[in-house]
Amino acid sequence: MATHIVNGTVVTAEREFRADVLIEGDKIVAVGENLDVPAGAEQVDATDCYVMPGGIDPHTHMQLPFMGTVASEDFFSGTAAGFAGGNTMIIDFVIPNPQEPLMAAYEKWRGWAEKSAGDYSFHVAVTWWDDSVHADMGKLATERGVNSFKHFMAYKGAIMCDDEVLVNSFTRARELGALCTVHAENGELVFRLQKEIFERGITGPEGHPLSRPPEVEGEAANRAIRIAEVLGVPLYLVHTSCIDALEALTRARLEGQRVFGECLAGHLLIDDSVYRKKDWNEAAHYVMSPPFRSKEHQDALWRALQSGMIQTTATDHCCFCTPQKQMGIDDFRQIPNGTAGVEDRMGVIWHHGVNKGRLTPSEFVAVTSTNAAKIFNIFPRKGTIAAGADADVVVWDPKVSRTISAKTHHQKIDFNIFEGMEVTGVARTTLSRGKVVWHDGKLSAEEGAGRYVDRPCFAPYWSAQKTTNRLAEPTKVERVRPEVEKS
């Protein structure tokens, strides 16, 4: 089965150019003009549209068991909703409970993801440590295509890593050529601040950001960066939300350390006034970690994205409906943390990035698809429009406007953090490995059509690592052993 995408402007992270795209089966086979098209090929019209690589969302949590409940979006509905917004791949997370074998958790999550409509992969979280974790990391990296291990520095009493786990796991990752990623918030400080704020009688959602100020993220980001620097491993900061973390990231990168930054569509566009909404439900909808920040932080994140200091955008799509959020009706600490976004990331970043002159279309492609493919070592199979790549393609119509709303979105959640936002720029057609799964507002996602994507270790950037001089040439001093005086 062949598909011929005609009359469009192809956009890659490198350039924009007029070209047609020929797809055969699940691969792109040619990009150019006057292509040799087989008879009977399905034609997709891309007149006045951009033809871009499908979005890769490197941070989602479909049907995550968390804080006493389970995220409402599952792997089928979530990957399908992504199609409607031009997203064609997710990298989700296996999050073992402490003492749960990593391999067992991995197999469990693989089972859950069988129903995915779109392609997917998994970061695996290291939430505890013993020799079996060391061994399982090796098996996951060498036999299961896992090249990234996640570490939550927050969530004390649940999945939080202390420095011992970080150091052990980062050391193991170095042996395996796997990328270490961190949720950088100091969980001890969060726990203490939550207690103090609650005991002062602040029990509503406004307590959430008060217990997780930017300093708490900045400390953890810097600590993870320094640990990675001393151990000589690359590092990836997920959902970088504030200036304090950006300062740590910028310093490290300017000193040649291999640290990558990710930011969320939500953190680019939503500020902390949402927590002061009078309606409890509406304020609780925005409870996620790190919290939405005051306005100066959004501006700083945009500048970091424009300057290349932050390389990827994501959503942290982790859906809890209003009744689930109400588990914390009397105590903000019990409100399940998480919001949605997999359907809206591309549209809000196109509108507020490209339409507002912050990003070129090529830079948009880089931060929504290509950079994630390169960092997680699946480029050029994913993340570009080129012969040989998987045919994950979005025909993007830059002229059409839509208003984002829970009333019309495909995400399995009863609210939308971008509710009412009008954006110009929509996915007209989305193809997932060559199959049209979204066209002109009609979703034709197929349960189980998604495939697990193996991600090889030792991505190209492993050959260019800044090692701390202190470890470069440890030298032993030869000396005469002194007479030991009898004590």
Least Å distance, CB 239 to ligand URQ, is 6
**Nearest-5° angle of CA 177, CA 245, CA 182?**
35
Verify binding: residue 61, ligand URQ, rule CB under 6 A: yes
Residue 183 contacts ligand URQ per CB under 6 A: yes
Separation CA 215–CA 378 (nearest Å): 34
Query: Tokens 């990957």 map to which residue?
Result: 79
Spatial distance between the Cα atoms of 248 and 44, rounded to a whole number of angstroms:
46
Task: Report the nearest approach of ligand URQ to the CB of residue 316 (Å).
Answer: 5
| 83 versus 155: smaller Cβ distance to ligand URQ | 155
Strand, coil or helix: 57: strand
How many Cβ atoms from other residues are within 10 Å of residue 427's Cβ?
Answer: 29
Determine if the peptide bond prior to 65 is cis (ω within 30°): no
Nearest Cα to 47, choosing from 397, 325, 474?
A: 397
* Nearest to 395, CA basis, from 1, 15, 20: 20
Between β-strands 393-403 and 50-53, what pairing exists: parallel, antiparallel or unpaired? antiparallel
Contact call for residue 301 and ligand URQ (CB under 6 A): no
Residue 209 binds which entry of ligand URQ, Zn ion, none, with Cβ cut-offs from 5 to 8 Å by kind?
none
Considering the complex, state which of residue 71 and residue 393 has its C-beta at the smaller distance from ligand URQ.
71
Residue 2 has phi, psi (to 5 degrees) of -115, 150
What DSSP line would sit under 454-477, residue for residue? ---SS-GGGGS----HHHHS--PP
User: Of these, 21, 80, 318, 421, which contacts ligand URQ (CB under 6 A)?
Assistant: 318
What's the order of all strands across the beta sheet hosting 2-6?
27-32, 20-24, 2-6, 42-45
Q: Name the strand (E) or helix (H) holding 18.
A: strand 16-18
Q: Rank residues 73 and 392 by Cβ distance to ligand URQ and give the closer one.
A: 73
Task: Say which residue the tokens 């402490």 belong to.
Answer: 98
Instruction: Pick out residues in 259-318 that bind Zn ion (CB under 5 A).
Output: 316
- Binding residue for Zn ion, selected from 4, 172, 183, 325, defined by CB under 5 A: 183
Q: Residue 338, interface with ligand URQ (CB under 6 A)?
A: yes
Interface map 259-298 toward ligand URQ (x if CB under 6 A): -----------------------------xx---------
* Among 316, 343, 344, 392, contact with ligand URQ (rule: CB under 6 A): 316
Least separation in angstroms between residue 59's CB and ligand URQ is: 7
CB 320 within 8 A of CB 72: yes
Taking CB atoms, the residue at the shortest distance from ligand URQ is 337
User: Which residue's Cβ has the minimum distance to Zn ion?
Assistant: 183
Comparing CB distances to ligand URQ, the nearer of 217 and 244 is: 217
Draw the binding track, 63-102, toward ligand URQ (x: CB under 6 A; -: no contact). ---x------------------------------------
Q: Which stretch binds Zn ion (CB under 5 A): 176-184, 325-333, 445-453, 470-478?
A: 176-184
Q: Which stretch binds Zn ion (CB under 5 A): 127-135, 156-164, 183-191, 380-388?
A: 183-191
Q: With contacts defined by CB under 5 A, how many residues of the chain interact with Zn ion?
A: 2
CB atoms within 10 A of CB 357: 8
Round to whole Å and give the CA distance between 137 and 84: 35
Residue 382 within binding range of Zn ion, rule CB under 5 A: no
Q: Which amino acid is located at 230 in the chain?
A: V
Binding region for Zn ion (CB under 5 A)? 183, 316
Binding region for ligand URQ (CB under 6 A)? 61, 66, 183, 288-289, 316, 318, 337-338
